[in-house]
Amino acid sequence: QVQLVQSGAEVKKPGASVKVSCKASGYTFTKYGISWVRQAPGQGLEWMGWISPYNGNTNYRQKFQGRVTLTTDTSSTTAYMDLRSLRSDDTAVYFCALREGWAALVPRNGMDVWGQGTTVSVS
């Protein structure tokens, strides 16, 4: 079955960078776009951006423009989220997610496969 497995928890200092990985399995990696969503402690869900593993096209939420880079490695079927210039308010759980059967940018019908989440703590 389609599965996303993320890398482990990270602790970073303010100003540092973090790179979270999301290993995909159970499907042809280039078929479905992958979104990244974060959740600060006790807070709601915030969509950060999207990448197409097929052609590398990306779309970033404006507030993260210039600070986040999404990439994929098709040889290892892994997606990456790189967040720079970390601040304390970047402390959150970061999820990768996709809609099985959906390649396009806008998650019209939601995201039905999620990674387990990666906790990033900045202090």
- Binding footprint of another protein on the chain (CB under 8 A): 35, 44-47, 50, 59, 61-62, 95, 97, 105-112, 114-117
Q: How far is the CB of 43 from another protein (least distance, A)?
A: 9
End-to-end CA, the chain: 37
Q: Rounded to 5 degrees, what are φ and ψ at 8?
A: -80, 175
Q: How far is the CB of 107 from another protein (least distance, A)?
A: 5
Contact 57, 93 (CB under 8 A): no
Q: How far is the CB of 45 from another protein (least distance, A)?
A: 4
Cβ proximity to another protein, 54 vs 114, nearer residue: 114
Cβ proximity to another protein, 74 vs 109, nearer residue: 109
Q: How far is the CB of 13 from another protein (least distance, A)?
A: 25
Cβ proximity to another protein, 93 vs 122, nearer residue: 93
Cβ proximity to another protein, 29 vs 99, nearer residue: 99
* CB crowding 11-47: b at 16 or more within 10 Å, else e: ebeeeeebebbbbbeebebeebbbbbbbeeeeeeeeb
Q: How many residues does the chain have?
A: 123
